[in-house]
Amino acid sequence: MSTYPDSFYAVMRRQGISRRSFLKYCSLTASSLALGPQFVGNIVHAMETKPRTPVLWLHGLECTCCSESFIRSAHPLAKDVVLSMLSLDYDDTLMAAAGFQAEEVMEETMRKYKGRYILAVEGNPPLNEDGMYCIVGGKPFVEKLRYAAKDCAAVIAWGSCASWGCVQAAKPNPTRATPVHKVILDKPVIKVPGCPPIAEVMTAVITYMLTFDKLPDLDSQGRPKMFYGQRIHDKCYRRPHFDAGQFVEQWDDEAARKGYCLYKMGCKGPTTYNACSTVKWNDGVSFPIQSGHGCIGCSEEAFWDKGSFYDRVTELNVFGVEANADKMGLVTAGAVGVGIAAHAAVSINKHKKTETHKKDSL
């Protein structure tokens, strides 16, 4: 059956999983990726026979939260992704080799798999000071990024750093930290934003590419539609309280204990495109709103520069509800107004999102 010594199927069998369960897994994978039953066969075939696609995982300016999230994946388990589904040839956070031996591994993969490896990027390159705010092997990280990108099949921009710039690119962006798609212009870049992205979203995006040999469908901003097509607000279990005008008015009040809507506490769910309210976090245990704090919008471009996390996302009449609700009374800086206005526009028409967000970009 298995023509490859360590195919995903072979691994599952060794773990005592029956063929029947394996097929069930494939069918669940198909449905969780929103694919029809006709795709189950493709998944089965791919997982039984394919050699592992090499992945080079580079780290620029970042905090490693994306790697940490990735290893939290429950389905599939991170160990099975790393050992059986792909070949994680270079990742400075996990790899055994160091120094020149590590650099050798990267060279070899680039040579052997020219045009066929995936470049995963966590973090971003700073461009100020000749790029020397992030030095790897004595050279600017941006050089290494460009070098590794030249022969890759595609780039995955993990997290908000690689996708948008994230915290180090927040104003005044002292290092001129720059998202990957502004540096790598000649390769497809798949953005998987979030600070960090959800573990199972990360592994689903990469297994989708390995399974179907194609890039996921992307929205106008380069994000996989299957996970970033809807607002957190659209699928939030507290949405009925929003619609009914039932809001938390202050932390730990009666409404907070009853699980009312966090909109007045600054929740950015109405303007944030992500899968938190559906996939949820850490094997589905919870997500920020369920645990009582508003969404901070961490998968949105420039979410750090849109006012306080406790400011309401927009003027109240934009949503046409609870028009008389009390204001939080927070005084915000001038720039905040721009951010809020931008968000309001986004929430009305997401197709205008790209243009609107440009105001806040680097």
Partner 1 sequence: MNAIQTPNGFTLDNSGKRVVVDPVTRIEGHMRCEVNLDENNIIRNAVSSGTMWRGLEVILKGRDPRDAWAFTERICGVCTGTHALTSVRAVEDALSIQIPENANTIRNIMQLTLQVQDHLVHFYHLHALDWVDVVSALKADPKATSELAQSISPWEKSSPGYFLDIASRLKKFVESGQLGPFANGYWGSPAYKLPPEANLMAVAHYLEALDFQKDIVKIHTVYGGKNPHPNWLVGGVPCAINVDGVGAVGAVNMERLNLVSSIIDRTIEFIEQVYLPDLQAIASFYKDWLYGGGLSGQNVMSYGDIPEHANDRSFNNLLLPHGAILNGNLKEIHEIDLKDVNQIQEFVTHSWYRYDNENVGLHPFQGVTEPRFELGSKTKGTRTNIVNLDESAKYSWIKAPRWRGHAMEVGPLARYIVGYAKGIPAIKEPVDKLLTDLGLPVTALFSTLGRTAARGLEAQYCAHLMRHFQDKLIRTIKAGDLSTANTTKWEPDTWPQEAKGVGTTEAPRGALGHWVVIKDGKIDNYQCIVPTTWNGSPRDPQGNIGAFEAALMNTQVVNAEQPLEILRTLHSFDPCLACSTHIIDKEGKELTRVKVL
Q: How far is the CB of 282 from partner 1 (least distance, A)?
A: 4
The only residue of 278, 282, 354, 361 in contact with partner 1, by rule CB under 8 A = 282
Q: Is 247 in the site for partner 1 (CB under 8 A)?
A: no
Part in contact with partner 1 (CB under 8 A); list of ranges 9-17, 148-156, 202-210, 218-226: 9-17
User: Which amino acid would we find at residue 78?
Assistant: A
Contact between residue 163 and residue 196 where contact means Cβ atoms under 8 Å apart: no
Using CB under 8 A as the binding criterion, the count of chain residues that bind partner 1 stands at 110
Q: Is 334 in the site for partner 1 (CB under 8 A)?
A: no
Query: What count of Cα atoms within 13 Å lies in the side-chain half-sphere of residue 43?
Result: 21
Distances 112 to 117, 164, 184, 271 between C-alpha atoms, Å: 9, 31, 22, 44
Task: Show contacts with partner 1 in window 207-226 (CB under 8 A).
Answer: none
Q: Is 48 in the site for partner 1 (CB under 8 A)?
A: no
Q: Is 74 in the site for partner 1 (CB under 8 A)?
A: yes
Q: How far is the CB of 138 from partner 1 (least distance, A)?
A: 4
Three-class SS state of 121: strand
> Taking the CB of residue 164, how many other CB atoms lie within 10 A of it?
28
Nearest to partner 1 of 91, 350 (CB atom): 91
Three-class SS state of 158: strand
Contact between residue 61 and residue 177 where contact means Cβ atoms under 8 Å apart: yes
Task: Show contacts with partner 1 in window 90-119 (CB under 8 A).
Answer: 91-99, 101-102, 104-105
The only residue of 9, 25, 46, 52 in contact with partner 1, by rule CB under 8 A = 52
Closest among 275, 268, 261, 346 to 307, alpha carbons compared: 268
- Residue appearing with tokens 């919008």: 297
User: Which amino acid would we find at residue 191?
Assistant: K
Nearest to partner 1 of 218, 256 (CB atom): 256
Q: Is 244 in the site for partner 1 (CB under 8 A)?
A: no
Q: Is 343 in the site for partner 1 (CB under 8 A)?
A: no
The only residue of 145, 183, 289, 342 in contact with partner 1, by rule CB under 8 A = 289
Q: Is 257 in the site for partner 1 (CB under 8 A)?
A: yes
Q: Is 250 in the site for partner 1 (CB under 8 A)?
A: yes
Q: Is 338 in the site for partner 1 (CB under 8 A)?
A: no
Our measurement of the distance from residue 183's CA atom to the centroid of its chain's CA atoms, rounded to an integer in Å, reads 19
> Taking the CB of residue 27, how many other CB atoms lie within 10 A of it?
17
- Residue appearing with tokens 């997500």: 287
Question: What is the pattern of x (binds partner 1, CB under 8 A) and - over residues 161-190?
Answer: -----xxx-xxxxxxxx-------------
Part in contact with partner 1 (CB under 8 A); list of ranges 19-27, 147-155, 224-232, 291-299: 291-299
Our measurement of the distance from residue 347's CA atom to the centroid of its chain's CA atoms, rounded to an integer in Å, reads 20
Q: Is 37 in the site for partner 1 (CB under 8 A)?
A: no
Nearest to partner 1 of 146, 351 (CB atom): 146
Q: Is 290 in the site for partner 1 (CB under 8 A)?
A: yes
User: Which amino acid would we find at residue 329?
Assistant: G
Nearest to partner 1 of 27, 75 (CB atom): 75
> Taking the CB of residue 46, how many other CB atoms lie within 10 A of it?
19
Structure token digits, residue 316: 């109240």
Return phi, psi of residue 218, to 5°.
-110, 150
Residues in the chain: 362
Nearest to partner 1 of 127, 226 (CB atom): 127
User: Which amino acid would we find at residue 61?
Assistant: L
